[in-house]
């Protein structure tokens, strides 16, 4: 079945004069679906795709059979989904419904039937983490969008499929905005520039083709061809939006939202909030990251906590003119001890609320041969989160010992 689908797609590329020199499409070694691979160690891959094969909002507007959503619907759904993604999702569903009559049939039939993002998980593998709640929020938002669209042709699950196909595969082009690009979207992404062996040149206006070129990285015959993500992404982002996670991801992070001191008077809390808003480096939302040669607890996080745990007497010493001092040094030994203790308590609370399993249990489960992709990627995410929290607690313990 996969061979037939792939043959149909390759024929479609050739019929429409797609250039894909020194490139082959094969079942992915690491992931479900298909990927692109080099076929030469001497000749560089060269991919050029006519813009007539690209699927964008312009394609939807030019279609004689697709009815664009009304401005009223677009206005009502703006808070949940951007207009380009909504229109392209609906257009993709429309083209899929046309079957072999669609210009993009050979491309659409090669798209995955389902995805490994948590939105499609049959079980909750991410426990009570931020990814779980972000997924639930996403599902609720898309449900509200679908209710407003009020389609009699498709179901919510169809819309979630199209929405995920767009958010996980589309390119953002200067000329066309959010765009599905057949063949190019088979190139998996890597987190760092030195790992990528392809890069996008965008649309060549002279040839009217979208172009992918080889980087300076040495490419071997049989090597998978990959692009770099626009940003360095943590595992929670990769899992939520793309359906996978990377072991020992150097960009991984834990989201942490600080709470104000419950013992503060109303006036103290208001002053602290005012000062937080006056300095862009001080905020209640932070990310814990393991970065080489840098402490896991950032100066911004420590500075924010120094303000949050201040007594009224300490608070009187600070205003907008000297707030930056909080980022450079402790207020006092007593204040710093309160900072570290509050942070430790916050991390323990986060751990208790977010996880129903231990790191050891996750590591043991990860060795199982019975894992499906949903659980495997979720475990990679969970293991990374818990390792970051453990490292942070060790850092706090060491910092506390130095205060004594």
User: Could you give all domains of the chain from N- to C-terminal order, each with its CATH number?
Assistant: 2-242 (3.90.1410.10), 253-403 (3.90.1420.10)
Question: Cα(45)–Cα(20) distance, rounded to whole angstroms?
Answer: 7
Distance between CA atoms of 215 and 193, rounded to whole angstroms? 9
Residue 370 has φ and ψ, to the nearest 5°, of -100, 10
- The interaxial angle of helices 333-354 and 299-308, nearest 10 deg, is 100
Angle CA(168)–CA(233)–CA(56) in degrees, nearest 5?
30
Closest CA to 393 of 242, 288, 263, 278: 288
pLDDT tens sequence across 277-317:
988 999 999 999 888 778 899 999 999 999 999 999 999 99
How many Cβ atoms sit within 10 Å of the Cβ of residue 193?
Answer: 12
Q: What is the pLDDT of residues 63-92, one digit of tens each?
A: 999 999 999 999 999 999 999 999 999 999
Using DSSP bridges, classify how beta strands 23-27 and 46-50 pair: parallel, antiparallel or unpaired: unpaired
Query: What is the arithmetic mean of pLDDT over 345-374?
Result: 96
Q: Count CA within 13 A, CB hemisphere, residue 138.
A: 18
Kind plus residue range of the DSSP H or E element containing 204: strand 198-204
Burial class (CB in 10 A: 0-12, 13-18, 19+), 126: buried
User: What pLDDT is stored for residue 203 in this prediction?
Assistant: 97
Please give the Cα distance from 199 to 314 (Å, whole number): 53
Whether the Cβ atoms of residue 137 and residue 118 lie closer than 8 Å to each other: no
**What is the value of pTM for the model shown?**
0.90
Q: What does the pLDDT average to over 321-344?
A: 95
Whether the pLDDT of residue 230 is over 80: the answer is no
What does the alpha-carbon distance between residue 287 and residue 41 come to, in Å, rounded to a whole number? 41
Q: Over the stretch 250-285, which tens digit does the pLDDT of each residue have?
A: 889 999 999 998 888 999 999 999 999 988 999 999
Euclidean distance between CA atoms 69 and 192, whole angstroms: 38
Tell me, what's the pLDDT at 306? 96
Distance (Å, rounded) from C-alpha 190 to C-alpha 47? Answer: 18
Q: What is the pLDDT of residue 291?
A: 80
DSSP assignment letter at 224: B
CB 276 within 8 A of CB 305: no
pLDDT for residue 54 is more than 90: yes
- The confidence score (pLDDT) of residue 298 equals 93
Residue 31 has pLDDT above 80, yes or no: no
What's the pLDDT score for residue 232? 81
Q: How many other CB atoms sit within 10 Å of the CB of residue 237?
A: 19
The model's pLDDT over 156-180, given as tens digits with 9 standing for 90+, comes to 999 999 999 999 999 999 999 999 9
Q: How far apart are CA 114 and CA 72, in angstroms?
A: 31
Output the pLDDT for position 262.
86
């Amino acid at each position: 079945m996969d061979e037939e689908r792939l043959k149909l797609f390759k024929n479609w590329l050739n019929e429409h004069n797609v250039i894909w020199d020194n490139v082959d499409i094969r079942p992915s070694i690491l992931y479900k679906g298909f990927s692109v691979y080099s076929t030469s160690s001497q000749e560089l891959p060269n991919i050029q795709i006519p813009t007539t094969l690209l699927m964008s909002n312009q394609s939807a507007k030019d279609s004689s059979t697709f009815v664009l959503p009304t401005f009223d619907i677009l206005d009502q759904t703006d808070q949940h989904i951007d207009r380009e993604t909504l229109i392209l999702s609906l257009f993709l569903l429309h083209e899929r419904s046309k079957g072999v009559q669609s210009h993009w049939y050979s491309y659409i039939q090669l798209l995955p039937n389902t995805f490994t993002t948590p939105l499609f998980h049959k079980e909750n593998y991410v426990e009570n983490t931020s990814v779980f709640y972000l997924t639930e929020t996403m599902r609720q938002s898309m449900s509200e969008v679908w209710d407003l669209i009020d389609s009699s042709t498709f179901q919510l699950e169809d819309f979630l499929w199209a929405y995920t196909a767009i958010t996980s595969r589309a390119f953002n082009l200067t000329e066309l905005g959010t765009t599905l690009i057949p063949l190019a979207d088979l190139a998996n992404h890597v987190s760092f520039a030195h790992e990528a062996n392809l890069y996008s040149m965008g649309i060549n206006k002279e040839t009217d083709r979208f172009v992918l070129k080889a980087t300076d990285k040495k490419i071997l015959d049989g090597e998978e061809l990959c692009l770099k993500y626009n940003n360095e992404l943590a595992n929670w982002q990769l899992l939520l939006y793309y359906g996978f996670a990377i072991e020992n991801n150097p960009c991984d992070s834990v989201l942490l939202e600080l709470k104000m001191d419950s013992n503060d008077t109303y006036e103290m809390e208001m002053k602290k909030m005012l000062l937080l808003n006056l300095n862009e480096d001080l905020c209640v939302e932070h990310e814990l990251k393991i970065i080489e040669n840098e402490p896991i607890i950032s100066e911004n996080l420590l500075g924010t906590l120094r303000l949050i745990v201040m007594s009224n007497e300490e608070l009187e010493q600070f205003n907008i003119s000297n707030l930056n001092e909080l980022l450079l040094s402790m207020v006092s030994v007593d204040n710093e001890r309160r900072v570290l203790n509050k942070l430790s308590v916050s991390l323990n609370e986060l751990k208790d609320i977010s996880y129903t399993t231990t790191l050891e249990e996750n590591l043991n489960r990860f060795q199982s041969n019975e894992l499906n992709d949903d659980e495997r990627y979720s475990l990679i995410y969970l293991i990374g989160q818990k390792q970051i929290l453990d490292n942070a607690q060790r850092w706090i313990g060491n910092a506390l010992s130095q205060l004594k």
